[in-house]
Amino acid sequence: MPSDAANAPTCAVAAEASESLLAFADALLCAGQADKGPAAGDIQQFLTFFLSDEELGLPILRCREILRVSSITRIPEAPAYVRGVVNLRGRIVPAVDARQCMGRESAPPTSRSRLVVVEGAGRLFALLVDRVARIVKVDKSAIQPAPANAPALAGSVGLGEATVHLVDVDRLLHLGTAPGGAKAAESEQA
Partner 1 sequence: MEDLFASLAKDFVDETQPIAQEISALLLKLEDAAAAGGAANTGLVRGIRSGLHTIKGNAAMMGLPPIEQLAHALEDLCAAYGEHESGAAATDVQLLFEGCDLLGRLIPSAATGRVDALPVEAFLGKVAGQKPSPAPPGNRLTQTMGVVPAVAEVGDERADQASIRVDDGGVDELLELSGETIVGQTELLRLHSRLARGQFEANDVALMDQVLTDLGRTARQMRHQLLRMRLAPMSTLFGRYTRYVRDLGRERGQPIQLVIQGGETAVDRTIIRRLYEPFMHLVRNAVAHGIEAPVERAAAGKNPKAQILLSARLREGRVTIFLADDGRGLDMAAIVAKAKVLGVDTSKLTDKAIQRLIFQAGFSTAKAVSNLSGRGVGLDIVAGVVQGLGGHIDVRSVVGKGTVFVFDLPVTVSLQKALIFGVDSETFAVPTGFVLDTLEVRERDMQEINRVLLLSWRGDFLRSADAGRLLGCQGLAQAWTRPYAIVLQAGNKRGVLLVDWLSGVQEIVVKPLDDSLAACRMVGGVTVLGQGRVVPILDCLEVVRRTSRALSAERKVIPAVESSYHAF
Residues forming contacts to partner 1 in the complex (CB under 8 A) are: 1, 3-4, 7-8, 10-11, 13-14, 17-18, 21-22, 24-25, 28-29, 71, 73-79, 82, 85-87, 89-94, 96, 123, 125, 173, 176-177, 181-183, 185-186, 189
CB of 173 to partner 1, least distance (A): 7
Q: Which residue lies nearer to partner 1 by CB, 117 or 138?
A: 117
Which strands form 123-129's sheet, in the order they lie side by side? 63-68, 114-120, 123-129, 91-97, 82-88
* Smallest gap from residue 134 Cβ to partner 1 (A): 23
Closest CB to partner 1 among 140 and 183?
183
Angle (nearest 5°) at CA 87 between 32 and 70 = 90
CB of 133 to partner 1, least distance (A): 24
Calpha distance 96→173 (Å, rounded): 9
- Whether the CB-CB separation of 66 and 115 falls below 8 Å is answered with yes
Residue nearer to partner 1 on the CB measure, 52 or 73 = 73
The nearer residue to partner 1, 73 or 144, going by C-beta atoms, is 73
d(CA 154, CA 62): 14
Residue type, 39: A
